[in-house]
A and B are shown apart, each in its own frame.
Chain A
C-alpha cells in the first residue's frame, strides 16, 4: 500500500519591531567633513545668506520703528 506524503510546507513570515531588530549600518558622515561645494550648494547657500540679510534688515528696521527712532524729529 503506497503511503501518501504531504509535500505542503507552509511559509511563515517573521515580523520584528524596529526597536527590537538588529541595528543596521547607516549612512554616516564620519570622516566625510563638510559637504562638497558644488554649484548647486554654492548658489543655494548664497541665496539663503541674501535672504537672511534681507530679513535681518527688515527686523532691524522694525525694531528701530518700534523704538520710535525713525519718527523722531530733530
Chain B
C-alpha cells in the first residue's frame, strides 16, 4: 500500500519490514533499488540503445570495405583518422540525441515545421534516395559474403530481406532493440580477429596517436580514401535515425546524461571496431595481398590464418550489412511516416501502422530485388551514394545546428552553449569541404588527374 503511494517519487522511504534490495512494482512498471549506484546503472541500462545502435550500425557493409581497404592499401598509416573522427561522431550525435529528447520528434519533422515545406521535401527526398542506394550496397555485401561461402545469392538475399522484415514487425520496439543490440555485440568479434593477425602493438599505438605518411606521400588516392573514411564514419541517415529512435524510446529530459554516455560508448566502439578492421586489412598489406573487396580478402588470407578467420570476416560482413540495413530502412520509414502524419512506431502492430511498415518493407524488398538483377551496375550505385550523401549530409547538419540554436523552440535549457557552437561550426565547415571535394572527385575526375 505504502509502496504504491510512493512509487512515483524518485527517492522513496520504506519501513524496516520491507527492506530488500530489489522490489518489483507492478504499475507503472518500475524497479525499486536500494543504492544510488544501482539506480544509475539500471537507468543507464534502460536508456542505452539508440546511441550504441546508431554508431555500431554505422560500421555497415560499405564501412567494412572502406576500413579494410584503408588497412590493405596503407597499412596502419590511417589509424589516426579514427582518433580525429571520435569527437566529431560524438558531438554530432549528441546534438541529435539532445534534440530528440527535447522535442520528442524526428529530424525530418523538425525540418518541415521550422524551415518550411521546400527544405523539408528536399531533405526527405534526398534522404530517401541516399538511403535506398545505400541499402542496395548493403544487400550487395550480403550477396558477396554468401557467395564466398558457397551459398547462392538467390537464396541468401531474399532470406536476409525476410529476416530484416521479421525483425521489425513484432509490434515491440524493445524486442527490435534487444535483437539489434545482440547483433551489435557480435561486432566485437573484430577485436578477436585483430588479435589473431598479431599486429605490432607499438606501431599501432604510434600510428594511432601520431599521423604518419605512407610511402609515396600524399597522393590523390590517399586523400580520397581519407575522405571516404570520414564519409563512412559520419553518414546522413545517422542524424535522422538516432533522433527518431530517441523519440520512439520516449527518453525523458532526465535521461540526457545517460543518452550522452550511450552515444559516447557507441562512438568509442565504432572507432575501435573500425581500427580493428584496419588491423585485419593491414595483414594483407604486410603479406602482399592485393585488396579488392572484403570477401576476396577473406578467401585470400585463409591459407595463412585458417577457416575461422575467413568465416568470421564473411559473417561479420553480413552482420554489418544487416545492422546497416535495418537502421537505414527504419530511418527512412520513420522520416517518411512522421512527415506524412502516419502512425510511425515500432510499438504498433503491422495493421496499426500500415504506411510505416510498408515503407520499411518496400525499401528492404526493392533493394534486395535490385541486387538480384543480373549485371546490375553496382559501381553506378556507389557513385550515386557518394553524390547524394554529399548533398544531404551538409544540409542535414546545418539544419541540426540551426535547430539547436532555436531558443524560441527549445528555450535556454536545450540550446547549444557557445563552446558547443564553436566546435560544431568547425565540424560543419570541415564536412562541407570534404563533401564538396568528394563529390567533385566523383563528378569531375579529370580535375584531379
Contacts and interface: CB of A to CB of B under 8 A. Distances in A.
Interface string A4-31: 0010111111111111111110111100
Contacts of B366: none
Given A35-B402, A59-B387, A62-B443, A27 B410 contact: yes
Interface string A30-56: 001011100011001101100110110
B391 A55 contact: yes
B12 A13 contact: yes
B120 to A, nearest CB: 11
A41 B111 CA distance: 13
Interface string B248-271: 011111010000000000000000
B443 A12 contact: no
Contacts of A14: 6-10, 12, 25, 30-32
B406 interface: yes
A19 B116 CA distance: 31
A51 B394 contact: yes
Contacts of A34: 114-116
A19 B409 contact: no
B115 A55 contact: no
B174 A15 contact: no
Contacts of B113: 29, 32
A12 B12 contact: yes
Interface in B429-447: 432, 436, 439-440, 442-444
A21 B440 CA distance: 49
A12 to B, nearest CB: 5
Interface residues of B, number: 70
Given A15-B43, A27-B414, A59 B443 contact: yes
B408 A35 contact: yes
Interface stretch (B34-42, B51-59, B309-317): B34-42
A49 B9 CA distance: 50
Nearest to B9: A14
A29 B111 CA distance: 11
A55 B391 CA distance: 7
Interface in B205-237: none
Interface in B394-449: 394-395, 398, 401-403, 405-406, 408-411, 414, 432, 436, 439-440, 442-444
Interface stretch (B13-21, B142-150, B163-171, B325-333): B13-21
Interface stretch (B102-110, B133-141, B274-282, B354-362): B102-110
Contacts of A21: 28, 250, 252
A24 B101 CA distance: 10
Interface in B357-406: 387, 390-391, 394-395, 398, 401-403, 405-406
Contact of B408 (A12, A32, A51): A32
Contacts of B35: 13
A16 B409 contact: no
Tell me the dominant secondary structure on chain A's binding face: mixed
B173 interface: yes
B47 interface: yes
Contacts of B15: 9
B42 A20 contact: no
Given A29-B113, A48-B398, A15 B23 contact: no
Contacts of B6: 14
A29 B47 CA distance: 25
Nearest to B248: A19
A29 B25 contact: no
Nearest to A24: B252
B445 to A, nearest CB: 9
A55 B390 contact: yes
Contact of B39 (A15, A22, A62): A15
10 contacts: A14-B7, A15-B46, A19-B173, A19-B174, A29-B409, A32-B408, A35-B409, A44-B401, A59-B443, A62-B442
Interface of A: 6, 8-24, 26-29, 32, 34-36, 40-41, 44-45, 47-48, 51-52, 54-55, 58-59, 61-62
Interface of B: 6-16, 19, 23, 25, 28-36, 38-39, 42-43, 46-47, 102-105, 110, 113-116, 173-174, 249-253, 255, 347, 387, 390-391, 394-395, 398, 401-403, 405-406, 408-411, 414, 432, 436, 439-440, 442-444
Given A13-B34, A16-B28, A34-B116, 14 more contacts: A14-B12, A15-B39, A17-B29, A18-B46, A18-B252, A20-B30, A27-B409, A32-B114, A35-B114, A44-B398, A48-B394, A48-B395, A54-B436, A58-B440
Closest CB pairs A-B (n = 10):
A62-B443, A26-B104, A13-B39, A16-B30, A20-B29, A29-B113, A35-B114, A58-B443, A15-B42, A12-B12
